[in-house]
C-alpha cells in the first residue's frame, strides 16, 4: 500500500525523522482505533454492555450458585458462580480500560498533531489562530480530550472497586457495596465517552477535523456562492490551505475565462462529480477553464485530492441540504427547458424539511432583464427567530442571459450546457443565506414574500417544516445525562452505606 493511502506525509527537507515516525504511528493507531476500538467492532461500547450482564449475574447469585454450577463446576473449580462472574467482570473491565486508554492515546496524538500543524502554519506566516472558528474548534478538541481522560479515570476506579469486591467476597455486605460502586463508576465512564461520539476527529485524513468543526457564523449574502459556502464549512487548518490552493489555482485558469466564472464552474463541476459525473466528463469540463499546468495542479494536489473534495462536499450536503436541493431544482429546469415563474426574474427559495438545531434558508435572485431591479425579501414566521425579517436587494442585470427556454445537456463542449449556465447563473445571482432558530418543536411554517419597494407582492411561498431533535444526538445526550444521574447516585449510595457500615460497626 502506498504511503499516501496510509495517511503518511513525506517529511519536509528540514524535518527530523522523529516527526515522520510520529506521523506514521498516528496513522497506524488511527486505523486500529477505527476498525476495532471506537468504530468497527466498537469494543469501547460492547465491553461495558457485556460487563452489565456479568455485574448482574454476580449480584443475583451472591448468596447461592445456580444448580448446574453448584453440582458440576464449583466442586472442581473451588469458586462460587458469583465470584466467577465478578472475576470475569474484572477481566472485561480491564479490556475496557485498554480500549479507553488506547482511544485516549489516539486522540492525544491527534491533538498534538493539531498544535504542531498550527505552529507550522504560523512559521509559514499563515496565522490559523486568527481565522474564524479557531477558538471554538480548539475548545471542542480540548473538551473531547478532557472527556476521554475522565472516562479513563472512572474506568480505573471501577476496576479498583472490583478488586475490593474480590477481596471481601461477593456474599459480604462490603462486597455488595463495592460492587454497586464499581458498576456506578463504569456507568459514569460510559457517560463521559458518549458526547465525544458526536464530534470525532483525527489528523490522519485531510478532512479529519470537519466532523468536530461547527462554523460559528456565516455570510448572509454569498458573493462567490460555492466558494463562500465551502470556505464557511472548512475548519481553520483546511481553510488556510485552501487560501494558498486558490492562489495557485487562479494561475492555472485560461486568460480568456472570467475568474469568478471559473471558480464557480470549477466547484460546480466537482459537485456534479460527487453526484455521479464520470471522470472523463469531469476532465473535459475542467479543461475548458484550466490550462495544462492547472489540470496537473488540481489532479496531483496533496491536500485537496478528489477524495478530499468528495468528503468536503458530502459534509456540506448534509449540513445544508436546502442549498443543493435548490441548485438541483434549477438544474432540472434547465435540462427540461422550463421557463421561470417570472419572465424577467428568477426567484428560488428552499429550506430543510426537518429542522434540528437551526434552519438554513437559502434564496436565489437573478435579474434576467436589462434594467436594475430593487426588491424586498421578507420572511415571516411564528415558530422561529427572527419572526419578521425584511431585506432589500438591488439586482443588477447579468453579464449574460444565463437561461435557456430550450432543453440543455448536462455537459457539452463550451458553456452552452447545464454546467456552464448554472456556473454563470450562480456567478451573477444574489444568494441569501439566513439562519432561523426554532423556538418550538413540532410542525412549523415559514412564509416567504418577494415584494416591490412599494409593498406590492411579486411572489409568495409558504414552507412547512418539522422541528425535532436529531435522534442520534438526542440519544447520546440523553444517555450521557442518564449515566451521570444513575452513576452519581449509585456512587453516593455505595459510599453512604459503606460509611454507615464502618461507623455503625465501630459504634457497636
Core vs surface per residue 473-491: b (16+ CB within 10 A) or e: eeebeeebeebeeebeebb
Domain end point (choices 319, 347, 378): 319
pLDDT per residue as tens digits for the range 277-324: 899 999 999 999 999 999 999 999 999 999 999 999 999 999 999 999
The three-class DSSP label of residue 211 is: helix
Structural domain contains residue 5: no
Q: Which helix (H) or strand (E) holds 363?
A: strand 359-367
Same domain, 311 and 336: no
pLDDT given at position 10: 41
Considering only CA atoms, which of 484, 451, 461, 488 is closest in space to residue 373? Answer: 451
* pLDDT tens for each residue of 344-398: 888 999 999 999 889 999 999 998 888 899 999 999 999 999 999 999 999 988 7
Instruction: Verify that 46 and 189 share a domain, yes or no.
Output: yes
Q: Are residues 48 and 73 in the same domain?
A: yes
Would the pLDDT of 33 be above 70? yes
At residue 506 the predicted structure's pLDDT band, cuts being 50, 70 and 90, is low
Residue 236, classified by CB atoms within 10 Å of its CB into exposed (0-12), middle (13-18) or buried (19+), is buried
- Domain ends where: 264, 299, 319? 319
- Is 143 found in the same domain as 73? yes
Question: Would you say residue 298 lies in a domain?
Answer: yes
Indicate the SS3 state at residue 455: coil
CB 80, CB 65: distance < 8 Å: yes
144 and 61 in a single domain? The answer is: yes
Quickly list H helices, 169-258. 173-193, 225-233, 236-251
Residue 508 has pLDDT above 70, yes or no: no
Grid coordinates representing 496 are: 453512604
User: In the 8-state DSSP scheme, what is residue 170?
Assistant: T
DSSP E strands: which ranges in 370-456?
373-380, 384-385, 388-395, 430-438, 442-452
pLDDT at 32 over 70: yes
Asked which of 127-131, 202-206, 247-251 is least confident by mean pLDDT, the reply is 127-131
Global pTM reads 0.86
Do residues 94 and 159 make contact, with C-beta atoms less than 8 angstroms apart?
yes
In which domain, by residue range, is 462 found?
A: 321-467
The answer to whether residue 14 sits within a structural domain is: no
Q: Report the pLDDT averaged over residues 411-431.
A: 84
CA–CA distance, 95 with 42 (Å, rounded to integer) = 12
Are 384 and 432 found together in one domain? yes
Tell me the sheet residues that pair with 279.
none
Could you tell me if 109 and 172 lie in one domain? yes
Residue 18 in domain = no
Task: For residue 220, give the nearest of 450, 446, 436, 434 by alpha carbon.
Answer: 434
Of the pLDDT bands very low, low, confident and very high (cuts 50, 70, 90), residue 134 is: very high
Domain boundary among 287, 319, 351: 319
Within this chain, do residues 265 and 402 fall inside the same structural domain, yes or no? no
Q: Are residues 117 and 219 in the same domain?
A: no
Structural domain includes residue 17: no
* Arithmetic mean of pLDDT, 53-72: 90
Specify whether 44 is located in the same domain as 134.
Answer: yes
3-state secondary structure 120-167: HHHHCCCCHHHCCCHHHHHHHHHHHHHHHHHHHHHHHHHHHHHHHHHH
Cell digits for 150? Answer: 475522565
* Cell numbers placing 243: 487560501
pLDDT the model gives residue 279:
92
Q: What is the pLDDT of residues 77-126, one digit of tens each?
A: 888 999 999 999 999 999 999 999 999 999 999 999 999 999 998 888 88
Owner of C-alpha cell 473535459: 284
Residue 402 falls within a domain, yes or no?
A: yes
- Count: domains in the chain: 3
Task: Please name the helix (run of DSSP H) or strand (run of DSSP E) that holds residue 316, with its range, or none.
Answer: helix 306-319
Region class of 126: left (phi > 0), else alpha (psi between -120 and 50), else beta: beta
Q: Residue 9 falls within a domain, yes or no? A: no
Q: Number of helices and strands (H, E) in the chain?
A: 16, 10
By the 8 A CB rule, do 433 and 361 touch? yes
- Whether residue 236 is found in the same domain as residue 298: yes
Radius of gyration, alpha carbons of the chain: 30
Note the Cα 277 to chain centre separation in Å: 25
Q: Are residues 292 and 356 in the same domain?
A: no
Mean pLDDT for the chain?
88
Please give the full DSSP string across 72-97, using - where no structure is assigned.
Answer: HTHHHH---HHHHHHHHHHHHHHHHH
Per the CB < 8 A criterion, the answer to whether 90 and 155 are in contact is no
* Strand pairing class (354-355; 457-467): parallel
CATH number at residue 456: 2.60.40.10
What proportions of the chain, in percent to the nearest 5, are helix, strand and coil?
Answer: 60, 15, 25
Query: Above 50 in pLDDT, residue 207?
Result: yes
Task: Tell me if 1 is assigned to some domain.
Answer: no
Amino acid at each position: 500500500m502506498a504511503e499516501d493511502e496510509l495517511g503518511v506525509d513525506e517529511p519536509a527537507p528540514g524535518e527530523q525523522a522523529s516527526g515522520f515516525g510520529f506521523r506514521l504511528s498516528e496513522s497506524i493507531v488511527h486505523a486500529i482505533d477505527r476498525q476495532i476500538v471506537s468504530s468497527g467492532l466498537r469494543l469501547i461500547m460492547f465491553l461495558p454492555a457485556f460487563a452489565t450482564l456479568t455485574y448482574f449475574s454476580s449480584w443475583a447469585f451472591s448468596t447461592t450458585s445456580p444448580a448446574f454450577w453448584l453440582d458440576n463446576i464449583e466442586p472442581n473449580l473451588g469458586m462460587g458462580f458469583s465470584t466467577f462472574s465478578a472475576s470475569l467482570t474484572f477481566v472485561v473491565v480491564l479490556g475496557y480500560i485498554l480500549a479507553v486508554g488506547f482511544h485516549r492515546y489516539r486522540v492525544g496524538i491527534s491533538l498534538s498533531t493539531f498544535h504542531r500543524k498550527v505552529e507550522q502554519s504560523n512559521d509559514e506566516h499563515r496565522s490559523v489562530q486568527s481565522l474564524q472558528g479557531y477558538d471554538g474548534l480548539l475548545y471542542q478538541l480540548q473538551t473531547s480530550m478532557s472527556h476521554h481522560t475522565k472516562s479513563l479515570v472512572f474506568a480505573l476506579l471501577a476496576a479498583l472497586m472490583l478488586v475490593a469486591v474480590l477481596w471481601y467476597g461477593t456474599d459480604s455486605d462490603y462486597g455488595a457495596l463495592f460492587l454497586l460502586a464499581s458498576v456506578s463508576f463504569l456507568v459514569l465512564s460510559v457517560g463521559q465517552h458518549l458526547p465525544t461520539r458526536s464530534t470525532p476527529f483525527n489528523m490522519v485524513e485531510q478532512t479529519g477535523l470537519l466532523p468536530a468543526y461547527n462554523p460559528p457564523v456565516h455570510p448572509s449574502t454569498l458573493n462567490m456562492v460555492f466558494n463562500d459556502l465551502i470556505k464557511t464549512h472548512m475548519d481553520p487548518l483546511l481553510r488556510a490551505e485552501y487560501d494558498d490552493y486558490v492562489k495557485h489555482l487562479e494561475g492555472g485558469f485560461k486568460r480568456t475565462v472570467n475568474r469568478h466564472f471559473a471558480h464557480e464552474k470549477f466547484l460546480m463541476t466537482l459537485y456534479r462529480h460527487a453526484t455521479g459525473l464520470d471522470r472523463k466528463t469531469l476532465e473535459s469540463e475542467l479543461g475548458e477553464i484550466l490550462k495544462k499546468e492547472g489540470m496537473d495542479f488540481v489532479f496531483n494536489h496533496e491536500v485537496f485530492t478528489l477524495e478530499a473534495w468528495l468528503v468536503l462536499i458530502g459534509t456540506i450536503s448534509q449540513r445544508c441540504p436546502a442549498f443543493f436541493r435548490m441548485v438541483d431544482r434549477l438544474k432540472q429546469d434547465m435540462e427540461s427547458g422550463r421557463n421561470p415563474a417570472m419572465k424577467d426574474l428568477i426567484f428560488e427559495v428552499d429550506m430543510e424539511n426537518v429542522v434540528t438545531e437551526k434552519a438554513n434558508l437559502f434564496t436565489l435572485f437573478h435579474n434576467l432583464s436589462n434594467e436594475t431591479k430593487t426588491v424586498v425579501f421578507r420572511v415571516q414566521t411564528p415558530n422561529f427567530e427572527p419572526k419578521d425579517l425584511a431585506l432589500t436587494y438591488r439586482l443588477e442585470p447579468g453579464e449574460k442571459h444565463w437561461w435557456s427556454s430550450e432543453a440543455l445537456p448536462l455537459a457539452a463542449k463550451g458553456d452552452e450546457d447545464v454546467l456552464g449556465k448554472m456556473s454563470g447563473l450562480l456567478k451573477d445571482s444574489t444568494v441569501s443565506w439566513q439562519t432561523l432558530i426554532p423556538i418550538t418543536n413540532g410542525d412549523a411554517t415559514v412564509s416567504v414574500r418577494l415584494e416591490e419597494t412599494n409593498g406590492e407582492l411579486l411572489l409568495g411561498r409558504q414552507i412547512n417544516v418539522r422541528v425535532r431533535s436529531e435522534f442520534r444526538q438526542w440519544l447520546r445526550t440523553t444517555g450521557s445525562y442518564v449515566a451521570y444521574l444513575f452513576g452519581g447516585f449509585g456512587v453516593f449510595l455505595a459510599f453512604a452505606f459503606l460509611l454507615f457500615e464502618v461507623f455503625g460497626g465501630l459504634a457497636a
